[in-house]
Amino acid sequence: MTPTTSEAGVAAQLHDRGRSTWEAAHHHPMIVEIGSGTLPHETFRFYFEQNVMYLEDYARAIAFILAKAPDVDTLRVLGRFLQQIVENEIPANLEFLTRLGGVPHANALSAMGPVNYGYTRHLLFATSHGSPATGLTAILPCQWSYGEIASRLAVRAPEDQIYADWISLFANPTYDALVADSVTLLDRLASEEALSVDALAPTFDWSSRFEVAFWQMAYSRGADNAVTRAELDEV
């Protein structure tokens, strides 16, 4: 669900600027097949094998922002954000992986596909070197887009229970509230740091492009994993 505001804050403006990229993610064949329940389980298993590694670094990226939080309200929102990943999404991903007959990689870093590695290095750099607003700008597209994707798919949940359970992980009021709070926090931090939409757009846009690339990597099961910058620019 996309939070709306009458004045269109920084986050909403970033979202609108990258709408074509977001639509590419929402209508990616993998998402379509999850919704219809026709995606091969082997493909979903590959996704979880990569996504467990991604989420571990995603949690580290949130922690980098937490360390720079300017106030208690920021700590509170980011603490819930981190809790969602560590206590809900990572355990759920491991459970899905088990249900699909897979196991986590023993040496996670070397097992990462190039897209996964590039995306996580982008997140870790932006959050460790950037300001709180810049860091949140980097990690928000993942959280926000998953909520939107799941909300769309939940309208007609697939019969395959694995796909229905994955959708329900994100299509729920608790997740929607966390996304809304993250969006509001970015608007506030950007204002306090005097950062414009133009200043934050490159970080937000790269994360959005990597979201699409990650779906394509998973859909091809790594067959076209070596995505070039030119290909990302076309998204």
Sketch the domain layout of the chain as residue ranges: 19-234
The tokens for 89 are 């999404």
Q: CB–CB of 190/200 below 8 Å?
A: yes
CATH entry 1.20.1560.10 includes domain 19-234: no
The amino acid at 178: L
| DSSP assignment letter at 159 | S
CA distance 182 to 129: 20
pLDDT of residue 223: 85
The amino acid at 228: T
The tokens for 100 are 């699909």
pLDDT of residue 235: 45
pLDDT of residue 105: 80
pLDDT of residue 126: 98
Block means of pLDDT (10 residues each) for the chain, 235 residues, are 58 94 94 97 97 97 98 98 98 97 80 95 98 98 97 95 98 98 98 97 97 97 61 48
The string over 53-75, giving b where at least 16 C-beta atoms fall within 10 Å of a residue's C-beta and e elsewhere, is bbbbbbbbbbebbbeebeeeebe
Distances (CA, A) of 83 to 23, 33, 77, 78, 106: 28, 29, 10, 8, 24
Which of 147, 122, 120 has its CA nearest to residue 134? 122
Q: Give all strands (DSSP E) within 32-115, no chain letters.
A: none
pLDDT of residue 76: 98
| DSSP assignment letter at 86 | I
From the DSSP assignment, how many helices (H) and strands (E) are in the chain?
13, 0
Helix (H, G, I), strand (E, B) or coil at 127: helix
pLDDT of residue 226: 47
**The residue to which tokens 């798919």 are assigned:** 153
